[in-house]
Chains A and B, each alone.
Chain A
């Protein structure tokens, strides 16, 4: 379980997060939604120790983020950032292999190699395995980065807009892979999503943020109401029900 207790964050007197307290249980997909600047990415980067905590504390399986050795956390928690700029002269296979680093510290064993192959297969990257990262399109690179994050094999995966640059086919594919990985291996995914309908269709729980505060928190049906969405995004949108899940007509 990830426990976030009274976490606030400000940057040069600009408040970003306001006294956030949140418990994220093990298992399932939690979607973070909200407008630009709501603090979604900041929250993820605090959980993943990419920036130091200013106030409050965060526990990952009881381990306090900040004082736990980085390597120990990397075996439990993986993060995919929004702008994963990577060195160019790396093949897709090498990049995905780096996901195993927290476990083998550079000496890859047979099990690690097998996991890399499995990740290549899962994300349909076999044909690109020997290509250099800088020769890939944005979407292909994004898939390689996601595959690396999965390959880290951690209980918790924090994904900051994993659908960036992906076409409809691959976006759907990715969310389905995520679903099956979470269900089959009892893993936990915390995903920042901009497409509210992806969240509605695939998430078990939605946390809506605005101006650094949690506005709504619950199952898609509980959170995705016209009132909540207006509160979060600033305009009214129609909501339909399809197969028991909400569908937000956010574009009309």
Chain B
């Protein structure tokens, strides 16, 4: 029997989805529904991808205040955008083929993740060292994009600014569907590994003692994280703190570290925050800002609260 808290979360998520699709419905209903349906698909895909990847990442690294962005994937994405605008100009950037750009971005980010994970698999390298390498590379990419954006003219810079926050307003149907299929596949793998994840969460040595092949399992999980993050980042842009917010809320709500409960709870919380937030932003606040900005702000506050609460206990 599913947990009562999960049913309530699912009900709220459903309400958010229905509100998103129906509030202020006027004009050409079929057209609006088509447009909103596409947007909804992207929101759901990103919600699930970020929730799953963050929970997975926190479990494998045994750290509850990390997000996958520490691996530097979104920094690489940002650097890619800045470099493209820098070399092609804002016009050239805008006229790039979306499909090709999407594919290249996903592959590049997964390649970076593989580069980070390879030494972990080959020689028994320390996980912390891998994370440190990710932080350093992320810093490098961020500094490079900062340097490049300083050389840009103001118009081109505003294009980069647009690309550096998650944006759900310009979506291509085929890419969204492709991304959703990839995310769905990865999410299914996460779900199937839910019992193994419980054991992985006990730490390396205990997990090995209980029959987990550690390097293989940990690398596999981190690769899954990379795929989820790469696809959703390439689709809508970086959402750094969002995962932290969702994973922390899910854990507070469920009061457990069992992934059979934690994974769906995190996904549902993510859907509520993203879809509900987008609805509120569009219809309540008149589209005054992008959702990305709001989420980063709220996510930052949750992060601080987590740190302060933890230091008190």
Contact = CB atoms under 8 A, between A and B. Distances in A.
A69 interface: yes
A99 interface: yes
A230 B201 CA distance: 43
Interface residues of B, number: 24
B256 interface: yes
Interface of B is mostly: loop
B211 A52 contact: no
A107 B198 CA distance: 12
Contacts of A99: 210
Given A89-B255, A105-B195, A98 B124 contact: no
B208 interface: yes
A90 interface: yes
Interface residues of A, number: 33
Contacts of B256: 89-90, 94
Interface string A43-56: 00100111010000
A152 B255 CA distance: 26
A89 B194 contact: no
A170 B208 CA distance: 27
Nearest to B194: A106
A94 B258 contact: yes
Contacts of A102: 210-211
Contacts of A105: 195-196
Given A94-B258, A106-B196, A50 B203 contact: no
A101 B251 contact: no
Interface of B: 62, 124, 194-196, 198-199, 201-203, 205-206, 208-214, 251, 255-258
The 9 closest A-B pairs by CB, nearest first: A106-B195, A74-B211, A71-B211, A102-B211, A79-B209, A89-B257, A70-B213, A87-B201, A101-B210
Interface of A: 45, 48-50, 52, 69-75, 78-81, 84-90, 94, 98-99, 101-102, 105-107, 149, 152
